């Protein structure tokens, strides 16, 4: 208001104010463009506070990265990755992307695929997988674990195990199952698929 009053007063005194108005307009446009990112981050931060898609301490994927939420501030969200790197994500980028919250639910399902050769007996493979699941700590009894033939691929049969764990135990069970299955397959002689390629050699007659 003060600027407009000054310009009006100068105009009344006969001073040309067109150049002043042009400069002010350009300055206003520049300031608006400069603040556009900050305002969008502020608006996104406000929406995050209202709708609470995640809280401090949650493990999430969003904004092109993943980690544990450390701080939710007005303009940015701070995450800590599994290898202890700190990542600061603008709130507008976080809210403009798909957010996956792995901590909202108390339990998660661990889905793992294991490929074996067609030469193996399906019942024997299933029994080995069941034994590993029963011997692995932190797997919940309910819901019940499932073992199924997921896919018949060229050169291999793909089995999938579906086990339920507490969200905090997901990776412990994931790696324990992978190691346990590899050891049990070796002990029981379960043959793993080996990539094969047929090579045909043609001998051309001499002309």
Query: What are the pLDDT digits (tens) for 41-100?
Result: 888 888 888 888 999 999 999 988 999 999 998 899 999 998 999 999 999 888 888 999
Where along the chain do the CATH 3.30.70.100 domains lie? 107-188
Cα–Cα distance measured from residue 53 to residue 3, given in angstroms and rounded to the nearest whole number: 43
Instruction: Determine if the pTM surpasses 0.85.
Output: no
Where along the chain do the CATH 2.30.30.60 domains lie? 1-104
Looking at the predicted structure, is the pLDDT value of residue 33 above 50?
no
Provide φ and ψ at 49, rounded to 5°.
Answer: -65, -35
Q: For 123-179, how does the pLDDT look when each residue is reduced to its tens digit (9 = 90+)?
A: 999 999 999 999 999 999 999 999 999 999 988 999 999 999 999 999 999 999 999
Listed in sequence order, the residues at least 6 apart from 102 whose beta carbon sits closer than 8 Å to its beta carbon are 58, 59, 60, 61, 108, 167, 170
The CB density around residue 37, as the number of other CB atoms within 10 Å, is 13
Name which CATH class applies to 107-188. alpha beta
Name which CATH class applies to 1-104. mainly beta
pLDDT at 9: 62
């Amino acid at each position: 208001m003060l600027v407009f009053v000054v310009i009006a007063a100068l105009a009344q005194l006969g001073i040309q104010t067109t150049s002043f108005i042009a400069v002010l307009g350009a300055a206003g446009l520049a300031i608006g463009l400069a603040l556009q990112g900050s305002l969008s981050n502020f608006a996104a931060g406000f929406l995050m506070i209202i709708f609470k898609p995640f809280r401090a301490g949650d493990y999430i994927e969003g904004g092109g990265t993943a980690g544990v939420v450390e701080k939710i501030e007005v303009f940015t969200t701070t995450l800590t990755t599994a290898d202890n790197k700190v990542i600061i994500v603008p709130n507008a980028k976080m809210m403009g992307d798909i957010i996956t919250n792995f901590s909202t639910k108390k339990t998660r399902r661990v889905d793992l695929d294991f490929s074996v050769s067609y030469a193996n007996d399906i019942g024997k493979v299933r029994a080995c997988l069941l034994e590993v699941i029963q011997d692995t700590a932190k797997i919940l009894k309910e819901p019940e674990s499932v073992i199924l033939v997921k896919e018949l691929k060229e050169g291999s049969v793909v089995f999938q195990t579906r086990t339920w764990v507490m969200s905090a135990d997901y990776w412990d069970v994931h790696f324990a199952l992978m190691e346990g299955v590899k050891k049990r397959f070796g002990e029981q002689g379960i043959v793993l698929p080996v990539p094969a390629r047929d090579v045909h050699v043609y001998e051309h007659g001499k002309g």
